[in-house]
Structure 1
Amino acid sequence: MKHLLEEEKKINCRPVRKSLKEYARGIAGGLLFSFPLLFTMEVWWAGFMATPMQLLLLVVVTYVLLLGYNRYAGLRADTSWRTIIIDSVEEMGIGILISFLVLLMLNRIQFHDMALEEIMGKTIIEAMVVSIGVSIGTAQLGVSSEDDESRPEEETNDASGTKWSLDMGLVVLAFCGAIIVGGNVAPTEEVVMLAVEAEAIHLLVMALASLFISVVVVFFSDFKGSVEKAPDNLVYGLIVDTCVSYVVALAASAFSLWFFGRFDGVSFDVAVAECIVLGVLASLGASAGRLLIR
């Protein structure tokens, strides 16, 4: 209880300048990761066609992802769940505001011609990806030395006792990365066209390329957060980590394609092909996203 009170006091006493910098980073991240979607016609149509239940499901899924990201990567390991919940709500609110203002600027929201349901649908669909970008931007675009120094040493010393938490964090971050990257392409007709026209050999090559991308990014890219496995664990680590990343990428692809109606009126084979096609991009996002927790 004392720890929570001290943390709450620190949050309440946070300088206005620091808060403004965090908001600025969040806005920059939101725009950086979501501008392609904000300029995509298929997403505008999805906002017009989406049902209230679909929008509610999207909000819930996005909020869970924000909670997961802030728990495992966006905030310090000793941050309370109360702070994580509040920050996630703030990020979603900023995402909604950014989406509304950008769509208004682009003349995609017209109060005299559109029903309230259509305006809300467009804004909510766009805002969900924007809010994930806001969360990433706040945490990653400008980490100060003060933030680095405030990380407790026991965070690294107790790693062996939190393996399950670490694995869950990897899955959550991989899913966030896959949604951010793959979600920009999921609404487009090109995914369906490529899936319909692809032959079995093309799909096999796409799947192998996705696996290869995951291996390169996570193990051999020398990106910040990439890992070097010991020789005796190299093969096992390559197989397990790569398969997890690809499965998460396919799951994110399937969810994105389903939400934007890309499974409507197509056979099961075509739906699977769509997931493999989008999985090439999503696997890149999943692999890069996993590095945020390393």
Structure 2
Amino acid sequence: MGIRTASEPSLRHFLTGLGRAAGGAIIFALPMLMTMEMWALGFTLDVWKLCLLLVATIPVLLGLSYYGGFRCTFSLKDDLADVFVGMLIAGLMSTFVLWLFGVLTLETSLREAIGKIAVQVVPGGIGAMLARSQFGGDSATDDLRRERSSYWGELFMLATGALFLSFNVAPTEEIILIAFQMDAWREAALALASLLLMHVFVYVSNFKGGDERGAASHLSMFLRFSLTGYVLSLLISMAMLWIFGRSDGLSFYSFLSAALVLGFPASIGAAAARLVL
């Protein structure tokens, strides 16, 4: 009787975590599940790039599980288990939604179907890992997340936010179009606006989740977090453009211009991640 009583809460919490993960996966993946460019990428993206994307997603989800996954974990083994459970849930939910939309049918080839689902695992997996912070958690969970927080952990969160939003936008043609429409002065203004908006959004405005370390000077916070976060956003933007083939045939200047354009939503995503997490 005592054993059953001890195990029931654990099972209930695990099932609650799975429900949160499923909800988070749909919310985060839905914009891409309804985007034609993402459907096409599942078929046109090189297999090795698709595999690289999935492999690179694992450490990202591992970090998210450590800082705030869909259930509270206390060991690397549990975090790894949750990563693959989250990816599985993201894949299943994406398959179901794509089937409902008629994107996946009996006539869809196996290669195309796997590609379309695999591309959605990245945003869906991130949503699954962030489910607890979005759909509720106890005070003990929040205290644990604060205890685990560190400078490198905060940079990781910034990078994750940049990855998510840049992943949403990078496959679209509009990024390249906007880059071609902008001159050097507008590009410089966009870079400055991205950097300053990122700093104001997180560290100056009194939003919930904003930085509370009042002892540190604004210059120190700007250099250590805002500037570093913006550089991370640009690097991630470049990586996304390359993976999705948007850098093919571009000169270095055109590629840099596209990265600056994509860096705008990426930097906003980085700032928002600090507020959410």
TM-score, normalised with respect to structure 1: 0.85
Q: Match for 1:266: what amino acid?
A: L
Equivalent position of 2:243 in the other structure: 259
**263-272 or 64-73, which deviates more:** 64-73
Detail structure 1 runs of 4+ shifted over 6 Å in the superposition.
75-78
- Asked whether the equivalents of residues 191 and 277 of structure 1 are also in contact (C-alpha less than 8 Å), the reply is yes
Is 1:47 aligned with 2:42?
Answer: yes
Q: Match for 1:135: what amino acid?
A: M
Three-state SS of the structure 1 residue aligned to 2:170 is coil
Q: Match for 2:111: what amino acid?
A: E
- Seq. identity, %: 33
Match of 1:37 among 23, 32, 35: 32
Is 1:70 aligned with 2:65?
Answer: yes
Is 1:25 aligned with 2:20?
Answer: yes
Is 1:198 aligned with 2:193?
Answer: no
Q: Match for 2:151: what amino acid?
A: D
Equivalent position of 1:92 in the other structure: 87
- Asked whether the equivalents of residues 203 and 273 of structure 1 are also in contact (C-alpha less than 8 Å), the reply is yes
Equivalent position of 2:159 in the other structure: 175
Counterparts of 2:137 and 2:89, CA distance in 1? 20
Equivalent position of 2:51 in the other structure: 56
Q: What are the ranges of 5 or more consecutive residues in structure 2 without an aligned counterpart? A: none
Equivalent position of 1:243 in the other structure: 227
Equivalent position of 1:226 in the other structure: 210
**49-58 or 88-97, which deviates more:** 49-58
Three-state SS of the structure 1 residue aligned to 2:171 is coil
Deviation at 1:62, TM superposition (A): 0.8
Match of 2:192 among 200, 203, 208: 208
Q: Match for 1:57: what amino acid?
A: L
Deviation at 1:278, TM superposition (A): 0.9
- Asked whether the equivalents of residues 98 and 127 of structure 1 are also in contact (C-alpha less than 8 Å), the reply is no
TM-score, normalised with respect to structure 2: 0.89
Query: What do the CA deviations read for 1:85-139 (whole angstroms, capped 9, x no partner)?
Result: 1111110110111111111111111222x22111101110012111111111234
Deviation at 1:11, TM superposition (A): 10
Counterparts of 1:50 and 1:152, CA distance in 2? 39
Equivalent position of 1:120 in the other structure: 114
Q: What are the ranges of 5 or more consecutive residues in structure 1 without an aligned counterpart? A: 1-9, 160-164
Counterparts of 1:73 and 1:215, CA distance in 2? 24
Query: What do the CA deviations read for 1:192-230 (whole angstroms, capped 9, x no partner)?
Result: 000111101111111111111211122122222211344
Deviation at 1:50, TM superposition (A): 1.7
- Asked whether the equivalents of residues 248 and 286 of structure 1 are also in contact (C-alpha less than 8 Å), the reply is no
Three-state SS of the structure 1 residue aligned to 2:117 is helix
Counterparts of 1:126 and 1:172, CA distance in 2? 21
- Asked whether the equivalents of residues 70 and 129 of structure 2 are also in contact (C-alpha less than 8 Å), the reply is no
Q: Match for 1:84: what amino acid?
A: D
Counterparts of 1:140 and 1:175, CA distance in 2? 19
Match of 2:129 among 135, 158, 171: 135
